[in-house]
Amino acid sequence: MKKIEAIIRPGKFQTLRDRLSSIGIGGLTVTEAAGTGKQKGQTGVFRGTTFQVQLLPKVKVEIVADEHQLDEIIDLIIESCSTGDIGDGKIFISPIEQTIRIRTGERGENAVI
Amino acid sequence: MKKIEAIIRPGKFQTLRDRLSSIGIGGLTVTEAAGTGKQKGQTGVFRGTTFQVQLLPKVKVEIVADEHQLDEIIDLIIESCSTGDIGDGKIFISPIEQTIRIRTGERGENAVI
Amino acid sequence: MKKIEAIIRPGKFQTLRDRLSSIGIGGLTVTEAAGTGKQKGQTGVFRGTTFQVQLLPKVKVEIVADEHQLDEIIDLIIESCSTGDIGDGKIFISPIEQTIRIRTGERGENAVI
Ligand SMILES: Nc1ncnc2c1ncn2[C@@H]1O[C@H](COP(=O)(O)OP(=O)(O)OP(=O)(O)O)[C@@H](O)[C@H]1O
Ligand SMILES: Nc1ncnc2c1ncn2[C@@H]1O[C@H](COP(=O)(O)OP(=O)(O)OP(=O)(O)O)[C@@H](O)[C@H]1O
Ligand SMILES: Nc1ncnc2c1ncn2[C@@H]1O[C@H](COP(=O)(O)OP(=O)(O)OP(=O)(O)O)[C@@H](O)[C@H]1O
Ligand SMILES: [Mg+2]
Ligand SMILES: [Mg+2]
Ligand SMILES: [Mg+2]
């Protein structure tokens, strides 16, 4: 099992969710976040004043899924969330050792779905 | 060390916290989240209109604990957060390689507590 | 690649961010959280009434970085976020198996930066 954590533009969430649903992925958790990528530290000039790139609002989407769906989900996030402009976001993959459905106590692959 | 991440009904948080406290687990982090489980994609009919299952408000509780407490904490979450109805939540277990207490610089098991 | 997750006092975030920026770390994600450490379960007495330590507002800062920067980042968080009083926060280190920049599809070390 893997956790796929995508930090995306808030405006892309609904599209991503619908696309995930269309490939049978229903389980996901969403959190409001803010962040900076590599443009942080870059300065810009606005009306004559130098300014620092600010924290931008982002949405964190977490999907725990079976390893065999990993590539499909990553591809779908890239397709759904790209605009080509800087700030489209990042995807981080990490290991999940166990999943438990609280209602039934089920564990493992049956609990992920 | 393990991270135990439980996505639960908001109304169950206080019970869970008190139960954790009663077994000596004080350290936890809470975040507001929203999500869907496997019922996403299911449609319902409400006043004659088909609707999609919406994002539901959930609370994410993260507990970093020593491995020997893992089963006890999982059991306690299941007991505290089950209602028997769909939507009771999920528990995800992942590895934590190091913990540091910022105030003292302590690391490892001493820092987790 | 590692995820460095720091749960800190909200008032320390700006200092931490500036210090990270000064060593070339721009990428980070911030979330509002709340929590308790080991003082939970401790009771205090306020105006004659016993009370439980409450959830305190904290900021969760997540930085995904290459392993060779890990110690430098941890040291910098300790320096930036310590006050010496209880409640300064915790740092948790966990493995990240892959990072992808959504805009370009880049993976690995090039995507982290
Ligand atoms: N190394 C990182 N660690 C943690 N979060 C990150 C990291 N890099 C980016 N993020 C998160 O992802 C969000 C989007 O990042 P962003 O798309 O700007 O990345 P980038 O590397 O600057 O790529 P681009 O050049 O396409 O803008 C950030 O606002 C932040 O929340
Ligand atoms: N695969 C998953 N990845 C990430 N988050 C998930 C996943 N499955 C569930 N969640 C989170 O857990 C919350 C509760 O899920 P839920 O209890 O409905 O799971 P379920 O598998 O549908 O079980 P049930 O049949 O008991 O409803 C969701 O709102 C979501 O935030
Ligand atoms: N074991 C833990 N699991 C998850 N989150 C934790 C844990 N311990 C602490 N935290 C988070 O870190 C925040 C700060 O914790 P805190 O600094 O009070 O830790 P502590 O161990 O009590 O150290 P101190 O004695 O310096 O107060 C908490 O509010 C909580 O959000
Ligand atoms: Mg960027
Ligand atoms: Mg469900
Ligand atoms: Mg404390």
Nearest one of A27, A90, A63, C6 to B89, comparing CA atoms: A27
Give the DSSP letter of residue B55.
Answer: P
- The answer to whether C103 and C54 have CB atoms below 8 angstroms apart is no
Residue ranges of alpha helices (H) inside A1-113 are: 13-22, 70-81, 109-112
What tokens does A89 get? 């976001």
Q: Given its phi and psi angles, is residue B105 left (phi above 0), alpha (psi -120 to 50 degrees) or beta?
A: left
Helix (H, G, I), strand (E, B), or coil: what is residue C28?
A: strand
DSSP 3-state of A60: strand
Give the whole-angstrom CA distance, residue A75 versus residue A93: 13
pLDDT in tens, chain B (113 residues): 999 999 999 999 999 999 999 999 999 999 999 999 988 645 555 556 655 557 899 999 999 999 999 999 999 999 999 999 999 999 999 999 999 999 999 999 999 99
Which residue positions in chain C have pLDDT lower than 50? 41
Helices (H), ranges, chain B: 13-22, 70-81, 109-112
Helix (H, G, I), strand (E, B) or coil at A100: strand
pLDDT of residue B39: 80
Instruction: Identify the pLDDT of residue B94.
Output: 98
List residues in chain A touching B: CB distance below 8 A. 3, 21, 24, 26-32, 64, 94-103, 105, 111, 113
Total residue length of chain B: 113
Which residues of C sit within 8 Å Cβ distance of A? 3, 21, 24, 26-32, 64, 94-103, 105, 111, 113
Q: Which of B60, B94, B96, B97 to mutate to test the interface with A (most CBs of A within 10 A)?
A: B94
Q: Name the residue at shortest CA distance from atom 26 of ligand 2.
A: B86
Res A8: pLDDT: 98
Contact B64 C92 (CB under 8 A): yes
Give CATH for domain C2-112: 3.30.70.120
How large is the C-alpha radius of gyration of chain B? Answer: 17
Six token digits for residue B103: 């105030």
All partners of chain B with 3 or more CB pairs under 8 angstroms: A, C
Chain A's closest residue to C2, CA to CA, is A94
Residue A41, pLDDT > 50, answer: no
**Which pLDDT score, from 0 to 100, does residue C41 have?**
46
Q: What is the pLDDT of residues C34-51, one digit of tens each?
A: 999 988 645 555 556 655
CB A102 within 8 A of CB B91: yes
By C-alpha distance, which of B61, C94, B104 is closest to A102?
B61
Please determine, looking at this structure, whether the domain spanning B2-38+48-112 carries the CATH number 3.40.50.2300: no
Question: Which residue of chain A is at minimal alpha-carbon distance from C108?
Answer: A92
Q: CA angle C75-C16-A43, nearest 5°?
A: 125
Q: Please give the distance of CA B53 from its chain centroid, rounded to a whole number.
A: 22
For residues B41 and A26, give the distance between their C-alpha atoms in angstroms, rounded to a whole number: 7
Distance CA A66, CA A68 (A): 6
Output the CA–CA distances (angstroms, integers) from residue A100 to B36, C23, C90, in the order listed.
Answer: 15, 40, 26
pLDDT score at B26:
92
pLDDT digits over A90-103, tens only?
A: 999 999 999 999 99
**Long-range contacts formed by C104-110: CB under 8 A, 24+ apart:** C105/A78, C109/C1, C109/C66
